[in-house]
Amino acid sequence: MIQKLDCHMHIWRLQRGDYDWLTPDLGEIYRDFEIDNVWTEAKAGGVTHVILVQAAASVAETDFLLSVADSDRRVHGVVGWVDFEADDAAEQIALRAKTPHLLGLRPMIADLPNLQWILRDECKPALEAVQASGLIFDAHAHPDLVPVMTRLAADYPQLPIVLNHAGKPPIASAELGVWRRDIAALARHENVCCKLSGLLTEAGTRTDDAAIGEIVEHVAACFGPERLLWGSDWPVLTLAGNYKAWVEQCERIVGQFFPDHADAIFSGNAKRIYSRKPGV
């Protein structure tokens, strides 16, 4: 069995109170989730480690995730959050970059009304600090944000960017032309990598191997297998499927399109890209 590093997992505790997007209308994911809730399935699927990704726009949640990472050897590291518009954002980032388990930062750009927000001058000191620190910039996903990430990658060629969820392609509608074009343009920037995660929740009824495989085949052709990373987006995944089935489907699809690179896609690339910073 191929060992796996799940590079996109969330956990949350509702009583913490800072998950603004997480409301009762989301049904079964409006409850607490811990790694232990899915570990039987994950371990059976070959998962040995996970990267916890922020789910709240607060430093308090990032500190919560880091506290879990400090005590749980299954956690490879954390992608956290910092206010990129704070007057001391650069100083905060430089300080937090010294934290061993902090691997990257993810502003929740898709939740903001201005899609160009990250390109504003106010964010420049924070972006330069991320670039200088060795942290990863995790790109919050939405199809309209893919061209914004292309501009960001061009403006900051030394900034390592990881696109979440393949940019959330509109799989359900099968209207993929614009997404295909935008992904191809983004992938021309070698400082960008792409997560194979979060696809089922964009798929509607089109969750079969052919529909998901069409997405994987395109991002593989654009990025190459050395810039693809596998993740689950659990527990959001549970809105459209389950962990076991997602692992099995990805094993089939990866085996179909690039069997010689399965180890890299499922774990090796994530270990390399989300590596510990020099001196930490």
The tens-digit pLDDT sequence of the chain (280 residues) is 899 999 999 999 999 999 999 999 999 999 999 999 999 999 999 999 999 999 999 999 999 999 999 999 999 999 999 999 999 999 999 999 999 999 999 999 998 999 999 999 999 999 999 999 999 999 999 999 999 999 999 999 999 999 999 999 999 999 999 999 999 999 999 999 999 999 999 999 999 999 999 999 999 999 999 999 999 999 999 999 999 999 999 999 999 998 899 999 999 999 999 985 544 4
In a domain? residue 137: yes
What CATH number has the domain bearing residue 130? 3.20.20.140
Query: CA 29 → CA 23, 202, 240, distances in Å?
Result: 9, 16, 11
Whole-number pLDDT of residue 275: 86
Whole-number pLDDT of residue 280: 43
In a domain? residue 152: yes
Strands (DSSP E) along the chain, which ranges?
4-9, 47-53, 75-80, 102-105, 136-139, 161-163, 192-196, 228-230
Alpha-carbon Rg of the chain, whole angstroms? 17
In a domain? residue 185: yes
CA gap 98, 103 in Å, rounded: 10
In a domain? residue 183: yes
By residue range, what is the domain housing residue 206?
A: 4-273
The first and second tokens of residue 13, run together, are 């505790």
Domain count within the chain: 1
Query: CA 245 → CA 41, 149, 207, 242, distances in Å?
Result: 9, 31, 11, 6
The first and second tokens of residue 58, run together, are 């607060």
Who contacts 98 (Cβ-Cβ below 8 Å, separation ≥6)? 280
In a domain? residue 280: no
In a domain? residue 278: no
Whole-number pLDDT of residue 277: 54
In a domain? residue 61: yes
In a domain? residue 35: yes
CA gap 66, 262 in Å, rounded: 29
Give the type of residue at 40. Answer: T
Could you give the angle at the alpha carbon of 238 between the alpha carbons of 101 and 234, nearest 5°?
Answer: 10
Q: What is the pTM of this model?
A: 0.96
Asked if 118 and 143 count as a contact pair (C-beta separation under 8 A), the reply is no
